[in-house]
Amino acid sequence: MTGDRRTGDPRPTDARGSADSGAGARVWVVGIGAASGVGAEEVRASVCAALARAGAARSTVRALVTVAARAHEPGLVAGAALLALPLYARSAAELAEVPVPHPAERVRAAVGTSSVAEAAARLGPVSGAPLGELVVAKMRGVGARPRCTVAIARHVGSAGGEGDRQTS
């Protein structure tokens, strides 16, 4: 195992090139909500802005997670590819069960749950894993007319690992 050559991070990496892969390691999961037509560059820039707010390196992020209804949105899929991160889908029913600080009825009307970004970040890609700790609350995407929201949660151990429904 070697460090992450892309970021200069000297910590050990797992097979996907991410740091902190030990059983008790803290890993980051980014939850992302998006409107139809979101662009890949907005997704990339919004995730990077949220990571900067958290003081987290990209190399510690294990996954992007969104609601199943938006998981095949071209901008989300392409944004995940730009970030070299897997994109996972969780059902609206799963997300609706997660307590969040900023629920929105407008979001519930659109996708069937009052939170996507915060709930997806806390829930992570692995069913049955403990909920992550929200470290960046829902923030609007970057750009003049943001079409996404992003939140970040810290998970311990394998909770940020391989998930159930990877879409990219």
Tens place of pLDDT for every residue, the chain, 168 residues? 233 333 333 333 332 334 444 455 678 999 999 999 999 999 999 999 999 999 988 888 999 999 999 999 999 999 999 999 999 999 999 999 999 999 999 888 888 999 999 999 999 999 888 999 999 999 999 989 999 999 999 998 755 455 555 565
Rounded Cα distance between 42 and 115, Å, is: 20
Rounded Cα distance between 67 and 111, Å, is: 8
Rounded to two decimals, the pTM is 0.81
Report helix angle 74-83 to 40-54, nearest 10: 50
